[in-house]
Amino acid sequence: MQLLRRTDSATGYQAEESVWTLLGDEEEFSNRAESAIAISYTRYLAEPELWNARSAPWTVVIDPTAELLDVIPELLAREEILVAFPAYTDGRGYSHAATLRQHHGYKGGLIAIGDIRRDQLDFMRHSGFTAFEVTGNDSVADMLTSLGELEMPADHRLYSGAAL
C-alpha cells in the first residue's frame, strides 16, 4: 500500500510504500515471522499475549465498529495505528482518531487506510491523521497537491466560484 506521510521538511508530505502487511482475522502469520504486521483490533483483543510477546513490529487496524472506550495501554504504545475507512461515506474513523488523540493521549502516527479521497484530507489532518493511503481514486500527485494547498494560509487557498 502506498502512503502519503507527513514529514518535517518544507514540502510537508512525501509518498512512500507502507511497511505494514495487513493480516486477516483467520490468516496464519507464522510464515511472516519478521514482517511488520497489522491485525484487526478484534484479533488483538482475542489474543493479546501472543501479540505483546512478538518481537517483530506489529500494530492494529481500528475498524469502524470498534469500541474505543477502554483502550488497552499496549495499544497506545504502538508507534503507528491504522484506522480503516471501508467506504468514503463512513466517517466513524474521524471519531476514532479524535478519541485516540484527545481522550487517550495517543502520540504516535495515525494512518488512514481504505477509501481515502482528496476532499477528506483536511478533515483527516484536523482529526489527527499523519498519513493517508493512496487508493487509486486520486493520483499521488493530485493528493500531494491537495495537501500542499492545505498547508497554505486559508486566505491564500483557491476556491471555485460556486464556493464564493
Does residue 5 contact residue 16 with C-beta atoms inside 8 Å? yes
Per-residue pLDDT 10s for the chain (164 aa) are 889 888 876 558 888 999 999 998 888 877 667 889 999 999 998 989 989 998 899 999 999 998 877 777 888 899 999 999 999 899 999 999 999 999 889 999 999 999 998 888 888 988 999 999 988 778 888 888 777 776 655 554 455 445 44
Q: How far is CA 2 from CA 11, 28, 101, 131, 140, in A?
A: 18, 24, 24, 10, 9
Rounded to 10 degrees, the C-alpha dihedral 106/110/114/119 comes to: 110
DSSP-derived secondary structure letter, 9: S
What kind of fold does domain 2-151 have according to CATH?
A: Rossmann fold (3.40.50)
Q: Which cell is 124 given?
A: 483527516
